[in-house]
Structure 1
């Protein structure tokens, strides 16, 4: 029986997911320059011909992965602008980060991939590079506003909100790099450790 259009689309999406996972793993662990399309095809368990049916070049695949990561940052900005209490929002966000770091490497790889793209594009700024800078700045601003709101409500410790936001993301980025470097010996700090510099003691998360 011939496959339906929906079945073909499902197969196509499954193949792209394999390619994405393989490419992220290789770009992070080997570097973009040291990874070739044959490496990606072999890691994904597909033929190089099938890979080329989805992506014409390695650069196209890399840029699509970075776009995917940037969309995740945009969702975080919208999340931080919701009406829940700042402490609830940040606590849930940190819980998600903790779970993702403990259960897999996708978030870790996406964070490192964005970093790679920013450093690679620093010398020759592109439209994508400029978008990453803008979205990162917006995320930092949204987080700083959230911290100020939490300070006003008595949920967060006092301090410069922007400095605290920078420290928070620097910590998460550093943990992503440590997880890749240390592998099985990596120990993920608990959510309470990640938020100890932010949350005031004795304030419940509702």
Structure 2
């Protein structure tokens, strides 16, 4: 029986996801510059020709993965800019980070991929590079604002909010790197440990 249009679309999406997953794993392990299209195709279990039917170039594939990661940054900014309680927002965010880090590698890979895009990404992606820098600045500013609000409410520790925001995200980025490097020997700190630099000690 001939396949339906929906079945063909499902197959196409499944192949595209296999390519993206393979590329992300290789970019993270080897770096963007050291990964070639043949390796991506082999890891995905497909031919190079089929890969090129989905992505015109390695740059195109890399940029699409980075764009997906960028959407995640935008969601975090929107989340932190909401009117909810600062401590409730931060606790929810830290719990989600903890859960994502212990249950899989996607978050760690996406964080590393964003860094790679700033350091050694596609030469044609200068606009994307600038967009990521602006988004990172917005994310730190939104986090600092949330910390200041929490400090005013007596929920967060005292200190320079911008420095605290920078240290908080540097620790998450560092944990992502360690997870990839240490693999099964990696131990994810608890949610309370991860947020200790921000939260006021509860009596």
Normalised TM-score (structure 1):
0.93
What's the CA shift for 1:124? Answer: 8.6
Q: Which moved more, 1:3-12 or 1:157-166?
A: 3-12
What's the CA shift for 1:179? Answer: 1.1
CA spacing shift, 1:32–1:121, aligned 2, 3 Å: closer
CA spacing shift, 1:122–1:143, aligned 2, 3 Å: farther
Q: Deviations over 1:95-146 (max 9, x none)?
A: 1111111111111011001101111269997101000001111111111111
- The secondary structure found in structure 1 opposite 2:96 is helix
Q: Given the alignment of the two structures, is residue 148 of structure 1 paired with residue 148 of structure 2, yes or no?
A: yes
State the distance in 2 between where 1:111 and 1:13 align: 24
Normalised TM-score (structure 2):
0.95
What's the CA shift for 1:2? Answer: 2.5
Tell me if structure 1 keeps the 8 A contact 2:59–2:122. no
- How many aligned residue pairs are there? 203
Q: What's the Cα RMSD here?
A: 1.7
Gapped regions of structure 1 (runs ≥ 5): none
What's the CA shift for 1:200? Answer: 1.3
> Could you tell me which residue of structure 2 aligns to residue 104 of structure 1?
104
> Could you tell me which residue of structure 2 aligns to residue 114 of structure 1?
114
Gapped regions of structure 2 (runs ≥ 5): none
Q: Given the alignment of the two structures, is residue 164 of structure 1 paired with residue 164 of structure 2, yes or no?
A: yes
State the distance in 2 between where 1:2 and 1:125 align: 41
- The secondary structure found in structure 2 opposite 1:133 is helix
> Could you tell me which residue of structure 2 aligns to residue 83 of structure 1?
83
State the distance in 1 between where 2:2 and 2:8 align: 10
What's the CA shift for 1:84? Answer: 1.7
